Structure formats: C-alpha cells, structure tokens
Amino acid sequence: MENQSFDFFKSKFNVSKETFIILKNLSTQKKLKARESIINQGGMSNKLYFLTSGLMRSVRLSETGKEYTKNIYSPISFVGPFSSILTKRPSLLTYETLTDCNVYELNFEDFYRLTKTNIDISNVYNRVLEYLFIIYEKKQFESLSLNATERYQLLKNSIP
C-alpha cells in the first residue's frame, strides 16, 4: 500500500507505520479490469478489498432481472461482502468494477486471526467497523431524507 493509503489509515484510524506494514504484508495488490466481479450474488468469499483507484459497485439482481445498485465505491474505500463474511452466508450482492481498478485484497480470516494476538491490529479493526457504521448511517439518513435529485447530486459530487 502506497503513501496515499498510509495517509488515509493514519488520519482515519491513527495507524502507526509499523501497523500499516503489517496490514500491507497481509494484503495482495491487484489490478482489476472494468466489469470484473470480485464476488457474485449468492457466492461466498472471505476476501475484502481496499480500493485505491477506479470505481466499483455493489448490485443486486432481482428475480425479474432488474439491477439495483446499492452503492458506488470510489477511492479510498473498503469494498466487499462484509455481512456475508461475518454471517458465513451467501452474499446478497454482486461486487464488480465499473472501471479498471487498483485494489489491495485481504483475506479476512487471516486479518481477524491477527486481531486476537495484536492489540494494534484489533484497534484498527474496531476503528474500521466504527468508520463503516458512520458511513452506513449517513447513507441511510440520505436515503430517507433526500429526494432522488438530491441523492444524484451528492453522487456526482463524490465521484471525481
């Protein structure tokens, strides 16, 4: 993970350089092509992704074939089937790239195992969960309180 990633982790989660190196060593840098799925709806995965460039989305396909985009991810974001991993149930969503993307892939089980023996990694995990909760709550509030035009304007403003 490069300096931009370290700066993000340091500013959001108070991560030291040493802890960041541990996280970097747990992950694998990957280049993904546009329209590539990292997990399909109904599939199982224990991989999480840290998006450093490009755009991704999570989408649900209805029984009638209609697509419902749940979220669009821009750098710098955590992407993956979190609920599926935590519940050990199939993913309700497909996660795919919209453009060519650079990501860091992390095996959640390896990461979680490390949280049991390394307090700094455990603290990072707690801070990331808090961060994701705040993002989720903000998105939920926007869905309830903004009309479609206002939500579209927010989306346009958030994607460079």
Range of the domain at 44: 3-158
pLDDT at 86: 94
pLDDT at 118: 96
Average pLDDT along the chain: 92
Q: What is the DSSP string of 52-100?
A: EES-EEEEEE-TTS-EEEEEEE-SSEEES-HHHHHHTS--SSEEEESS-
pLDDT at 2: 58
32 sits in which H/E element: strand 27-32
Tell whether the model's pLDDT for residue 106 goes beyond 80: yes
> What is the C-alpha to C-alpha distance for residues 4 and 47, in angstroms, rounded to an integer?
22
Tell whether the model's pLDDT for residue 140 goes beyond 80: yes
pLDDT at 160: 64
> What is the C-alpha to C-alpha distance for residues 94 and 88, in angstroms, rounded to an integer?
16
* Phi then psi dihedrals of residue 117, to 5 deg: -120, -10
CATH of the domain at 116: 2.60.120.10
**For the residues 114-129, what does the mean pLDDT come to?**
95
Total tally of structural domains belonging to the chain: 1
The answer to whether the beta carbons of residues 23 and 124 sit under 8 Å apart is yes
**For the residues 108-132, what does the mean pLDDT come to?**
95
Tell whether the model's pLDDT for residue 141 goes beyond 90: no
The answer to whether the beta carbons of residues 44 and 66 sit under 8 Å apart is no
pLDDT at 82: 94
Q: CA–CA distance from 85 to each of 39, 46, 131, 150 (Å)?
A: 11, 6, 18, 32
